[in-house]
């Protein structure tokens, strides 16, 4: 008995020495700060509001600078973009739409120097009644709080109708030697001012129309108007 008790006494320190005690040591707390998003939205890189000076390579902008300060720079930028395009495919022509809110006149300025009207720096653009009707109906839908999905569907349907009419216009011009502009407008149920827009759309899938009537749609409209005058005279 004595030897067993002595053995138990000798093993107790060994067991207690193998036990470990975990102690929690408090650490100082750290403040968690949110990292601000420093990325610039893509929209702000191509669209500007009203600015004091003209900014190149913008999709949409307004400026209070007089015309003589930005017009030459705009033409140089158009020529540069047509020669050194950032797209994967070459660009034959670069265009800029300039709207004057003082005179309510719209001009299309081209990188081609031969596309120009007399006494102006570009080609005067007339209002298309088809586009005006689409925008007017879209405004009424917005006032009635129509869901955006239906508004987009309305725009898509209007653009589809525009493409269908432009295809019909291209077929008429290709099949006929001479077309009266009033006949085109009445047949397609469009206004005379819609013809340049229809021709621009038709040129994207009917290059025969461009080859037949020339490179400039201004010349096409002038030829159609001259034919109309000949018919009415």
Contact 201, 150 (CB under 8 A): no
Q: Which structure tokens are listed for 116?
A: 């120009």
| Mean pLDDT for the stretch of residues 50-76 | 88
For the chain, the residue count is 233
Q: Which structure tokens are listed for 193?
A: 């001012």
**Segments making up each domain of the chain, as ranges:** 42-125, 129-232
Q: Which structure tokens are listed for 221?
A: 């409209």
- Global pTM exceeds 0.75: no
| Mean pLDDT for the stretch of residues 151-177 | 88
Q: How many CB atoms lie within 10 A of CB 115?
A: 18
Query: Model confidence over 110-163: pLDDT tens digits?
Result: 887 765 655 667 778 778 899 999 999 999 999 999 999 999 999 999 999 999
> Strand order in 105-110's β-sheet?
95-100, 105-110, 123-125
Contact 48, 61 (CB under 8 A): yes
- Residue 77 DSSP one-character state: H
Contact 81, 93 (CB under 8 A): no
């Amino acid at each position: 008995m004595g030897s067993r008790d002595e053995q138990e006494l000798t093993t107790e320190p060994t067991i207690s020495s193998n036990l470990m005690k975990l102690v929690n040591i408090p650490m100082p707390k750290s403040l968690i700060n949110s990292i601000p998003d420093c990325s610039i939205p893509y929209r702000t890189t191509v669209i500007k509001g009203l600015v004091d000076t003209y900014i190149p390579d913008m999709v949409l902008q307004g400026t209070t600078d007089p015309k003589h300060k930005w017009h030459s720079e705009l033409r140089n930028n158009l020529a540069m973009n047509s020669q050194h395009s950032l797209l994967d495919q070459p660009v034959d022509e670069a265009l800029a739409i300039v709207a004057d809110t003082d005179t309510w006149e719209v001009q299309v300025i081209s990188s081609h120097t031969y596309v120009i009207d007399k006494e102006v720096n570009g080609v005067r653009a007339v209002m298309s009644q088809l586009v005006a009707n689409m925008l007017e109906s879209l405004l009424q839908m917005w006032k009635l709080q129509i869901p955006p999905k239906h508004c987009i569907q309305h725009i898509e349907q209007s653009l589809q109708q525009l493409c269908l009419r432009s295809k019909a216009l291209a077929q008429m011009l290709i099949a006929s030697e001479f077309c009266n502009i009033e006949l085109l407008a009445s047949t397609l149920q469009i206004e005379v001012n819609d013809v340049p827009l229809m021709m621009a759309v038709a040129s994207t899938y009917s290059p025969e129309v461009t080859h037949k009537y020339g490179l400039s749609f201004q010349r096409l409209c002038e030829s159609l108007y001259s034919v109309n005058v000949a018919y009415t005279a």
